[in-house]
Amino acid sequence: MCGIVGKVYVEPGRPVDGDLIARMKHCIRHRGPDDDGTHLRAPAGFGFQRLSIIDLKTGHQPIYNEDDSVVIVFNGEIYNFQELRERLIKLGHVFKTRADTETILHGYEEWGTNIASELRGMFAFAIFDHKNNSLFLARDRTGKKPLYYTHIRRGGPDEALLFASEMKALLADPDVPRNVDISALNHYLSYQYVPHPLSIFEGIKKLPPGSWMHFQNGVEKVERYWRLQYEPKYEVSEERAIEELTARLDEAVKVRLLSEVPLGCFLSGGIDSSAVVAMMRRHIAGDLKTFSIGFREEAFNELPYARQVAEKFETHHEEFIVEPNAIECIGALAWHFDEPFADSSAIPTYYLSKMTRQFVTVALNGDGGDESFAGYARYRGMPVLHKYRRIPKLLRAAAAGPFDIAAEAFSRNAKAELLSYVNRMSLMSEERQYIQCMVFFREYQKSRLFSEKYQNFLNESDADSEGLTESLMRDGTAREMVDKMMYSDIMMYLPGALLPKVDRTTMANSLEGRSPFLDHHLMEFAAKLPGELKFPNRELKGLLKKALAPIFGMEFLNRPKQGFGVPIGEWFRGDLRKLTEDFLFSEKARQRGFFDHKYIRRIFDQHVTHQQNHTHRIWALLMFEAWCRTLLDRSDPLAGPISLG
């Protein structure tokens, strides 16, 4: 687990400034404090920061091929590298190290762009071939490892391409402009994150998950090499499906136990992380470390369930309680995430990572189980809306106009707004209705939130945030509605929210996270399971629960899902209220010109007086302002987190 940076000029003989590569590396040193390396040979410059996990003695990067004409820097772990290494040796390749990185390099020489499809694991890497002055970038299937890039043009044709594991490293180059992308900001307000391929800055992009890029002579080519296939469905009995699921999960955990440094597991007490601990115990006879986090507020606390699992499998268990003063980490989160990010569960994940790093360097987790085995309550649909839809459609359509007028007339009445919105939503397609479970600032709310300066933008096609998810739900081979929902989450929510949350918070603390449920063999198996097996009678994780029942019992597995929530809404009414008001209503925030601050005051007052719950919306606005002060207002990306004083 590491960090990579680089710059490649279009002009073949133009050298890259070594001081720039050094600055870029320093921006991401937290991703790999154990070692670093640099490659400087015109027209390419690569940098590398290493967190040593495997091949501690010979895993230094960059790594070169036999004649030093091809060079690679790599971030991630490849779990089938030994198998690939043996194949490549038989084909005549000569290895200098025992590292998985060198396997990718020789694999690229042998199979070209198809190397990405051969890899099992999490990865983002860059390969430069000096023989033909070409750059090859690739990112793993689900986007566990980040990869940003941008072109340097300065008003003319391409001069260079920059890439990095974190966006702040790109900002180390003074030629990279910092103009907020309003389309990206709009999507952020909908989803709490900026979806790929956009970033919050114009001109900076994320390489999409499951994709590679080839760059040569100033020409960029991006292709997608992986997508989940949901059809044709397997014809399989429930008993056989359970056997196969258990075997694949067990094997996905087993291959992720390879490490030359201490290893443990995040344990929330939920089904997925508990399953990972159970599988780990099958292969680890001795000391097994587990780590949990909780809150004083009982409704958000799953520690008792985590303790049950820890006791059952006799793990060395550590716990940490997050108090309201944990909000002191706002500055750290804004700096480490590089972009506005408003999933408040990043707070406990950050502190969990910080605690875990005191004991181990690698931690497995349960990420990805919900998206492959139907674990979110939203997959069940919205029963209240279904009842409302019993009203004849003609009547609902006729009522839309009057409801909208009433909502406008009583614009300070949250219930009037909500009724108008629910009526409009009932007229939407099934896909659009699902999306309403995903968005936080809805379209009618954003029309009031954005300042007059940006009102015209909301009428443009780029402003349709909900269309991003809708297009994914209709993309690919998924036919059953539950498959469409899970596929859109795998392609958008996972790489946009869940995986960046874990990557940034773990790497902020120089900790490697591994996710067995994101093993592509397991995901591909789950995708082709019939809905009546995977999601029987709309029971969340129905098949997974049956597979785990002999281990945990159904009483443990059937308790209500809590998620990794944070009592942030109450904190806004208490310990966090003054800081939030200082951020949102400061003169600095007003002068930015993005928002109508009268509307922000309105929703804030509604929240603190319990008229309406605006927790996620206020947090999104707070984190956006924290990001502005961190990377928009300050020119030096090395300045670190802002002070909240």
Instruction: Give φ, ψ of 583 to 5 degrees.
Output: -75, -50
CA distances from residue 589 to 163, 214, 583, 592, 626 in whole angstroms, order as listed: 31, 40, 7, 6, 10
Is 2 a catalytic site residue?
A: yes
Tell me, what amino acid is at 18? G
CB 212 within 8 Å of CB 104: no
Structure tokens at 442: 């809805």
CA 621 – CA 192 distance, rounded (Å): 10
Distance CA 499, CA 486 (A): 15
Cα separation of 373 and 578, whole Å?
42
Sheet holding 316-322, edge to edge: 316-322, 289-295, 263-266, 362-364, 512-514
Cis peptide before 62 (omega within 30 of 0): yes
Q: Is the peptide bond before 340 cis (omega within 30 degrees of 0)?
A: no
CA distances for 458 relative to 101, 445, 594, 631, angstroms: 45, 11, 13, 25
How many Cα atoms within 13 Å fall on the side-chain side of residue 529? 30
Q: Which amino acid is at 544?
A: L
Beta bridge partners of 46: 6, 39
- Spot the catalytic one: 2, 265, 329, 628: 2
- SS3 call for 592: coil
What's phi and psi for 111, nearest 5 deg?
A: -115, 0
User: How far does the chain reach from its first CA to its final CA, in angstroms?
Assistant: 34
Alpha-helical (H) ranges within 50-143 are 81-90, 100-111, 115-118
- Please identify every residue annotated as catalytic: 2
